[in-house]
Amino acid sequence: MSIFKWGKEKREKEFLQQTQQMASKVLELIKEKTGKDFEDTTEMERQITAVFVFGMANGLAMDIKNTPLEVETGMIKILISIFKYSPKQASDFIKDMITSLQTKNKNDTKHAIIHRGLDGYYSYQNSKFEQLGDNIINIINRLSGSRY
């Protein structure tokens, strides 16, 4: 059966599972390149990574035809389970990311990171993990002042 004919529940489950896998891979690549466990990253590094994963999740959502509400709900779960934000923080953060996408302001930093995450999704899909890791590390270095 085509994924395009999946019901809402199956799409949501698939979206959540695949987004969890992508987020875990991004965190694994960050650890490989920086030597830092997630717990040792700064809040800025976590936020950059979460916004990047949101971009990746939007690429996935386009492929499996998730609705914007399904993306929002799934990403809140990811922000809570993987990025360790409280439900309120996750909800506020996702609303901020959605606003960044809706304004289409190319100079908005979150908007730019989301689009780099979308590029990252295609690297992930094509198993170009070195490229994916370089992409997120480049963003972290530029915005946080770190040099990994």
Quickly state the pLDDT bin for 5 (edges 50, 70, 90): low
Q: How far apart are CA 112 and CA 73, in angstroms?
A: 22
Nearest to 116 by CA among 65, 51, 22, 31: 51
Q: For all residues of the chain together, what is the average pLDDT? A: 91
Whether residue 14 is predicted with pLDDT greater than 60 in this model: the reply is yes
CB hemisphere CA count around 128 (13 angstroms): 12
Token pair of 44 as six digits: 């800025």
Domain range list for the chain: 3-144
pTM of the model: 0.91
pLDDT digit string (tens) for 75-115? 999 999 999 999 999 999 999 999 888 887 767 899 999 99
Token pair of 56 as six digits: 């990746």
Q: Which of 114-118, 125-129, 142-146 has the lowest mean pLDDT?
A: 142-146
Q: How far apart are CA 79 and CA 38, in angstroms?
A: 13
Q: How far apart are CA 44 and CA 50, in angstroms?
A: 10
pLDDT digit string (tens) for 51-74? 999 999 999 999 988 889 999 999
